[in-house]
Structures are given as structure tokens and as C-alpha cells.
Amino acid sequence: MTGVSDARGRLRADLVIEYPFTRTTGPVVGAFMTGLRDGRIVGSRRADGLVFVPAAEVDPETGDAITEIVEVGSTGVIETWTWVDPPRPGSPWEEPHGLALVRLDGADTPMLHGVLVESADDMATGMRVEAVWKSERVGHITDLMGFVPEGTGQEKNGVEGAESTAEETDETVRSIRTPMRLEYDFIPSAAAQEYLHAYADKRILGNRSPVDGAVFVPPRGVDPRHGVAATEMVELAHTGHVGNFCVTHLPIPGRDDLPTPYVSAWIHLDGADIGFLGLVAGCDLDDVRIGMRVRAVWKPEEDLGATAENVLYWEPTGELDVPVERAGNQAWLGSVPGEVVEDA
């Protein structure tokens, strides 16, 4: 984390968690998405006749699979609603809008979607609404633009003469791409603040548990196993070993600073009882191994700040490996917690 100090001198950072992913739909969700692409809404019907919309793959009460697909109406009634102003970042709607649970005609459960009206004064529980569609659809929930008061959607509706951008319009949608993004203002805990400030002095700190002496890095201010405060800080060595590792060949969106392939590893510092994530470099990919001894490679002095990014990566020391059976968390099983594991 690279952060700045707020008015109270605390480190803080505007962080973003973002990971778009593609998931397969399966036959039931695939039928629902295919219906959206074709300008229809379908649900799934369980044995007693109850119809779920959106289509459910599993009965939430019994856990039984649901496979029967039925088409429902594109009109329905608002069961409950709220007004969204302003729209949230990443929302498919750019203007203030209603967000409602709409029970469609022929369905027994409501679906959550936007209601496109001018103001909250135009919203009401029990109001009849109808679906409006994009003119170009791909088999995604956003193909359904939203709902409008019944009888007002003709000009907005894109079903008539619509063209789908799917490769084959008569094929079932088999996958969907879903972006995930969370923006938040992060203020580290007191223990993490001390930990990050120490990096500016090229020091790595951990917390020692008052129960059994186990050392946690990064420090948490608490022993999570026993639920007790851990206030004693311990300065740790800049050396350790690889407890586990992964070679990544696919680029991560937004991380142009990580050219592939690269190695991410669980680094176990000497004197610590838990590992933390770091990059391994300075050697061939094929040479990285569990138990390999490593040391920190730091940024130049003039670039140091209150951030763990001061350690650019971990490189081999050339020392004898820690035996595999003692590497990682296994290194201190059965030994005194916090005990430094000596090289074999």
C-alpha cells in the first residue's frame, strides 16, 4: 500500500479491488441469459409449480436441482423499492433511478432491477411496470435496460428489429463476463501503521503473542488464534525462505508493473511464525523452489516511504535450502512458536 497522511497524521489510501472474471452459466442460468439476449424473460419451475425469476438452479428449501424452464411475462408489479441518487460508480444507469423488486406476471419470486422514471415521486409499491430492452443484446443482465410504468415503454423498447451481437443467436449463452470493483478508503490499524512506517527505515516488524510467543507478520495487534491483544513489536530479519510459490503467466488487468511470467511466493522470515506474500526474482523461474533461502531487495534510499512496496522483491541468498519438510508453516510445527529455524 502506498498512502498519504490525513489531517491526524494517520496513513490512509484510496484502494480499489477489481477483478473481472468469466464464468460458465450452466443450462439453467444459460437459459435465463439466452432469454435476455432474445428479448424474453424465463424462469425455472420446481416440482410444486413455484416459478423462480431469475431462474434458479437449485431449490433453496430442499437443495434439489431445478431443470424446467418456463417463460414469464415482461410486465409485473413493484413489491418494494428505493431511490438511488446519485447512481453508484459502475452502475449501468447514469441517471438517478429506482431500484425495485419486481414480481413479473407468471413468476412467484421477484427480481431486482432498475426502474427508469424521472423522480421518486413516480415510484410506488404496487405500480405496474413493463420491461424495456437494449436494441443490441449479448446475453447479459444489462440487456434488460430496466422497467418503466406499464404502457410507456413502446418508444424505449429495443425488441422489435433488434440485433444480437452474439455469434449465433440460436445458441445458448454458455458464459458471461462479470466485472467486480470495490473502491474504499483504507486506514490501517495502529499496529499496521507502525509496521508501514518502519518500512521507511528499512525495518520489518512483527507482533509477538503474549500467549505462546508466536510472531505474526504483518502485525495484527491481536493473536487471532486466542483473541487477545498483542502489543509487543519484534524487528525481524530481512532473510527467510520460500514456503510456497506460484508462477503466473497471465497478466493481471491494471498491473502493468508485473510483466509475465513472474513468481509470487509465501515468504517466511527468520523469526516469524507465519508467512506473507512477496515477489521472487533474481533467478530463473525453474530455480525457484520450496525451502529456497531469500533476502529482501529494497528500493533506493531516496525512494523509501511508509509502504511495504519498499521491498521490490526477494532474491536467492545462495545458502543451503530449508528442508522441504520444515519449510513454510511446517517449519515450526512441534517446535517452540517464534523459534528461528536454522538452516540444515
How many CA atoms, within 13 angstroms, populate the side-chain half-sphere of residue 156?
18
- Three-state DSSP state, 200: coil
Torsion 303-304-307-308 (CA) sign = positive
SS3 content of the chain, % helix, strand, coil (to 5): 15, 35, 50
Q: CA-to-CA distance for 127 and 80, rounded, in angstroms? A: 10
- The percentage of the chain sitting over the pLDDT mark of 90, rounded to a whole number, equals 69
- Range in 99-103, 254-258, 317-321 the model is least confident about: 254-258
Place of cell 517466511: 268
Are the CB atoms for 88 and 37 separated by under 8 Å?
Answer: no
Mean pLDDT of the chain: 88
Which pLDDT tens digit goes with each residue over 62-71? 999 999 999 9
Which pLDDT tens digit goes with each residue over 149-161? 999 876 555 544 4
Q: Is the pLDDT of residue 342 over 80?
A: no
> Residue 334: its pLDDT value, please?
43
- Range in 92-96, 194-198, 250-254, 305-309 the model is least confident about: 250-254
The three grid cell numbers given for residue 235, joined into one nine-digit string: 524487528
Q: Is the pLDDT of residue 8 over 50?
A: yes
Distances (CA, A) of 195 to 201, 236, 238, 270: 11, 11, 14, 17
> Residue 102: its pLDDT value, please?
98
- Three-state DSSP state, 287: helix
Q: Cβ atoms within 10 A of the Cβ of 32, count?
A: 25
Helical H segments across the chain, by residue range: 26-37, 190-199
The three grid cell numbers given for residue 153, joined into one nine-digit string: 415503454
Which pLDDT tens digit goes with each residue over 277-328? 999 999 999 999 999 999 999 999 999 999 999 999 999 999 999 998 888 7
Are the CB atoms for 149 and 132 separated by under 8 Å?
Answer: no
Q: Is the pLDDT of residue 116 over 80?
A: yes
